[in-house]
Every structure is written in structure tokens, then in C-alpha cells.
Chains A and B, each alone.
Chain A
């Protein structure tokens, strides 16, 4: 763990969240916190409510009970674009890239909130609009370098292999310069090399930019290597919360993952 990355006070507090779709309970009384600069993992078997949890933080779902407090502000009905405004970025489990657009344009959409000049100026591309475009382009170019995707700058994302698309997804989120980055299964469907690359990027993001990261992952090895603390969900309930070692030793976690003999 690097010295530059000092884990601070809780930046995100999730309290007593319950979420149901009709009669199906996705989450029940889940509470945990995420501290500034830490890498926090949410793990659990299929259908445990991990993605639902991410969607609650990001404002896609509104829980029936409970509060999400981000940077001391608790808002009941945040929608995703407000969450983005507050500094929360995310990637998607099943890629949700703008497939028809180039890698560069995909990343530039991440700068949308930083662009302030009005429509007419943009249309003729003069003055502030031109300067703004150039300044934002510089940020995006740094991210492109960071993720080592220089060669694909102008390629439509739909034509890239899966592993690279995942990287573009991460890049688009990074372009927002978020304070909190939500990663929904960043390694899903990747081969070993791609996974290793992705791990390195995640650690570097955390290290160099100090970005707080919440990630969902299936690969236990990856989770234990990457994260500072781990939340374990099972059937929508929180069954364990602690360091990777604590969680690994927790009998309930072992039962949830391996099943019990009856």
C-alpha cells in the first residue's frame, strides 16, 4: 500500500437500505460505509443484491427505506445524472458504451459536465467553446495514455475486443474525474492478462488520483488482492464486513459461498 494514499473519514455512508421490486426483496437493512481513498469491495453469490446496491448508490434505484449519504449530503431521490454531478462515476457489468462513437468521443462524453459554454458558441466553435474543447481534450488524452489505448483513439468502440471495451468504459468514468468510482464487475469475462491489466489500472487510479473505489467482483483472488475492506451480501442481507482476511475466515461467508451440508 502506498504512503500517498491515506485512508480518511467515511465519504459514503449507506444506512439501513431496503429495496424491493414488488414482492421480491433485493436488499434488506444493509448498512456500511466507504472511507475516502479506500478500495471497497462488495462480494456475494449470484443474486445477492450487489448490482442493486451499486444502482442505489448511483441513483438508478430508489430504496423504499434507508439513506445514502455522500460527502455529508443525504438525498432521498437522487437520479443518475445528479449523482454524476455530485462526483460519482460508474462502469457497467454488461457494457454500456456508446458503440457507434469513437474511443475519443466516448471519453469526451465523460467531460460533459465540465463543459459550460452555450450551445450557439459551440455550434460555431469559437472563443470559450473552442478553448473549453481543447482543455477537456487534454484531460482525455492523459487518460488515454494512462490506459494505454492511444492506438484506438479514432476506432468506433463497437469494433474493439471485449477487454479493450472494458478499458474504454473505465476511461469514460475516469474522464469525469470522479471522487467515487463504482465498478460493476470490471473483470467479468476477461482472460488472465486482461484481468492483470485491469487490476493494475484500478490500483493505479486509486494510488495516483486518490479516487475512492467501490467494486463488485466475482473473482475472489482479485478481490482479496485489490481491496482494503470487503462487504459480503447474501440474499440481500449483509453477512460480513471487514478486511479481506477477516472476511475469508468468517464462517457465514464460507457457508454462503460453499453451501452447507444438511
Chain B
């Protein structure tokens, strides 16, 4: 085994053991434990959806798009407010058009003038885009809390009643979110691996100069990538909005996607999924089962673990594997 991988393996093993540990506790109800795990995985799916947007853009253009969270919020706002007047499917269609137009505009106004600038310059530009979108969304759509109604029954379902005492509560919204994320991942994988455009995107991600020399137009590729990231943001916005309501705090939750991409690797879409699941699961388990222990043993107030767990985990990963679980390892020839 590669010695370099050892710290990562230790870290992952510790995480796995930590996840299973509550089961040893006699007071833990298995049914409740499974509910917590499912709940964690479900919120993980939501993190993944946002993280995928980050990874897509970073991979293709080397830009760390700080505006991804704002794009999620903006897309959710569009859907919620347009759906007040037309059916949901029409609102989704209209939002798709808006996000594509937005991608085109970003390429024209922000990326093209700044081509060949330092990464930090582009990052600052996306920071500006994030705050612009934030305010612009408010200007256009208002700042109340809006709802996206997927037309699903609100009360949770009880499943596996004969396996666990009392059964397990599952939200329908969560199931839809998970299914959508899986579909999206499949669609993206097929698009990237099986189409000529996908191949061109991968080529640009690997080497800008060579991609241009074989006649791949960078500008058009960037529009496509941002449009795809816009679609991902739209899907994320739909499920988040349906679950939590469309409000400006969505943006802050989207920031959780940062530790997720650090975990999974900035350049990897599958990494975004795995990272999201690890973070979602880990923080739920820690919140539910670690808090009481802290309260009991150290007489702390407990709670709030969910807020920092992801970032501490990301910090640990930065120490042992800065490129993330699935990221590209860069070997520079000097």
C-alpha cells in the first residue's frame, strides 16, 4: 500500500468508526439511528448538488466560482416567483432560459475581459457576481420567504415498520432530491464521457492552450460550462427551496459546499457527491450523538456541532490530502 495514503485512510476509518459508534450505545434505538443516518445523507445530497456546480466550473476554467451559492438562490427565486403565475414546469423552463442567458452574460462581461488574469482576480470577480446576484434577486423578486411547491404530500412516510419498532420516517421531498441528484450525476457523466461537446469540455479542463490549437473555441465552452453549472444550481435551488423555503439564508447554507469540495477534490464531480454525503452524514451523527456526550461528560452546553463540523473536517483533509479525495494530484516538472 502507498504510504502517502495512510493518513487519509486513518482519517476515513476514524470517520467510519465514529459513525458506527452510537450503535454500541445501549440506549440508541436502531430505528432512530437509521433515521439520523438517512437524514444526514439527505442533507448531504443537497450539499453535493451545490458542490457539483463549484467542481464543474473549477474543472473547466480554473475559476473558483464564489457565486455558485448566489446562483442557487437566484434560480430558486426565479422558480418560486414565476411559478406563482404559471405551472411549475413552465417556471422551470423559464428559469432554465434565464440561467443560460446568465451564463452567456457572465462569459461576455466578466470572463472574456479577464482572460489570462490571475486566479485570484477571477475569484474576486465571482465574489462581485455573487453579491450582485444576491441584490439583483432581491430587486427583481423581493426579499420575503417564498415557497416552491413540488406538489408532494407534506406529511412524511413511514417505511420498514416491520423491521424497526415504530418504523422510519422519511420525507418525500428528500426522496425526490436524492433521485434528482442521482439523475443529474448520471446525465452529467453521460454528457462528459459520451458526447463530442463533453470531450471538448474535458479537453479545455486539461489544457487551454492545446484545446485552442485543435480548434476548440474557449469562449463557447465557457458559456456551456456556466450554463451547465446554472442548471445544476437550478436543480439545487428547486430541492432546497422546496425543503427550506426560498430565502436569503439559502446562500449561507450553500457555503457548506466549500468544505465539501475540499473533501471531494475541487476538480471532481463524483468527489462533490461523495464529499457531500460524508459531510452531511458526519455532521448529523455528530450533532445528534456527540452533543449529549459533551453535555454529560464536560458539562458543556452542547449543540451547534452541525455548524462547524464540516469546516473542521475540511481542515483535517487539507492537512493530510490537500487535493481532496478525488482531486488531481499535480506533479510539476521543474
Where the two chains meet, the residues of A that have a C-beta atom closer than 8 Å to any C-beta of B are 58, 60, 79-81, 83-85, 89-90, 92, 94, 96-101, 105, 108-113, 115, 119, 122-123, 125, 129, 132-133, 172-173, 175-176
User: CB-CB contacts of B193-220 with A at 8 A, as 1s and 0s?
Assistant: 0111101101101110111111111100
Query: Which of A98, A113, A129 meets B207, CB within 8 Å?
Result: A98
Could you tell me the distance between the alpha carbons of A97 and B224 in the complex, rounded to whole angstroms?
Answer: 22
**Which residues from chain B contact A96 at a C-beta distance below 8 Å?**
207, 209-210, 213
**Complex Cα–Cα for A125 and B190 (A):** 10
Q: How many B residues have CB within 8 A of the partner chain?
A: 26
Q: Which B residues contact A (CB, under 8 angstroms)? A: 190-191, 194-197, 199-200, 202-203, 205-207, 209-218, 224, 328, 333
Q: Are A122 and B216 also in contact (CB < 8 A) when A98-B207, A100-B202, A105-B202 are?
A: no
Collect the chain A residues with CB atoms within 8 Å of residue B211's CB.
98, 109
CA gap between A110 and B203 in the complex, in Å? 10
Asked whether B202 lies within 8 Å of A113 as measured between CB atoms, the reply is: no
| A84/B206 in contact, CB under 8 A | no
CB-CB under 8 A for A176 and B202, given A115-B196, A122-B196: no
Q: Is the CB of A80 within 8 A of B213?
A: yes
A98-B202, A100-B202 given as contacts; is B215 within 8 A of A112 (CB)? yes
Do A100 and B206 have beta carbons less than 8 Å apart? Answer: yes
Contact between A119 and B203 (Cβ–Cβ < 8 Å)? Answer: no
User: Are B210 and A113 in contact, CB atoms less than 8 angstroms apart?
Assistant: no
A77 to chain B, nearest CB (A): 14
Instruction: Indicate which residue in B190, B209, B215 contacts A176 across the interface (CB closer than 8 Å).
Output: B215
Please report the C-alpha to C-alpha distance between residue A45 and residue B108 in the assembled complex, in whole angstroms: 42
Measured between C-beta atoms, what is the minimum distance from A199 to chain B in Å? Answer: 23
A96-B210, A98-B211, A99-B207 known, 17 other contacts, Cβ within 8 Å: A80-B213, A81-B212, A81-B218, A89-B213, A92-B209, A92-B213, A97-B207, A98-B202, A98-B210, A99-B206, A105-B199, A111-B196, A112-B216, A113-B214, A123-B195, A129-B195, A133-B196
Whether B200 lies near A109 (C-beta < 8 A) is yes
A109 touches B216 (CB 8 A): yes
Is the CB–CB distance between B194 and A110 below 8 Å? no
Q: How far is the CA of A90 from the CA of B213 in the complex (A)?
A: 7
Residues of B within 8 A of A92 (CB): 209-210, 213
Chain B residues, CB < 8 A from A84: 212-215
Closest beta carbon of chain A to B38's beta carbon, Å: 33
In the complex, how many residue pairs between chain A and chain B have their CB atoms under 8 Å apart?
91
Q: What's the least CB distance linking A70 to chain B, in Å?
A: 15
Q: Is the CB of B215 within 8 A of A98?
A: no
Query: Which chain A positions have C-beta within 8 A of B195?
Result: 119, 122-123, 125, 129
Interface centre among B199, B210, B211, B212 (most CB of A within 10 A): B210
The secondary structure that dominates the B interface is helix
Chain A: minimal CB distance from B128 (Å): 27
Please indicate which of the listed interface residues B199, B207, B333 has the most CB atoms of chain A within 10 Å of its own CB: B199
Q: Are A119 and B209 in contact (CB under 8 A)?
A: no
Q: Which residues of A contact B333 (CB under 8 A)?
A: 94
Contacts of A97 in B (CB 8 A): 206-207, 210
| Interface contact A122-B217, CB-CB below 8 Å | no
Task: State the CA gap A98–B212 with chains docked (Å).
Answer: 12
Contact B202 A101 (CB under 8 A): yes
The 5 closest A-B pairs by CB, nearest first: A84-B215, A96-B210, A98-B206, A80-B212, A113-B215
* CB<8 Å pairs between A and B, sample of 23: A80-B209, A81-B212, A81-B215, A81-B218, A85-B215, A89-B214, A92-B213, A96-B207, A97-B207, A98-B203, A98-B210, A99-B206, A101-B199, A109-B211, A109-B214, A112-B203, A112-B216, A113-B215, A115-B196, A119-B195, A129-B196, A172-B214, A175-B214
Report the separation of the CA atoms of residues A115 and B198 in the bound assembly, to the nearest whole angstrom. 13
Residues of A within 8 A of B216 (CB): 81, 109, 112
- The reply to whether A123 and B191 form a contact with Cβ atoms under 8 Å apart is yes
Q: A98-B207, A101-B206 are in contact. Are A58 and B213 (CB under 8 A)?
A: yes
Tell me, rounded to whole Å, the shortest Cβ–Cβ distance linking A247 to chain B.
28
Which residue on A lies nearest to B204, using beta carbons? Answer: A98
A residues near B217, Cβ cutoff 8 Å: 81
**Taking the nearest CB of chain A, how far is it from the CB of B167, in angstroms?**
41
CB nearest to B202 among chain A residues: A101
Neighbouring B residues of A175 by C-beta, 8 Å: 214
Q: What chain B residues lie within 8 Å of A176 (beta carbons)?
A: 214-215
Closest to A60 in B: B209
Tell me the complex Cα distance, A58–B212, Å: 10
Contact of B199 among A60, A90, A94, A109 (CB under 8 A): A109
**Chain B proximity of A112: nearest CB distance (Å):** 5
Which residue of A is nearest B267, CB measured? A100
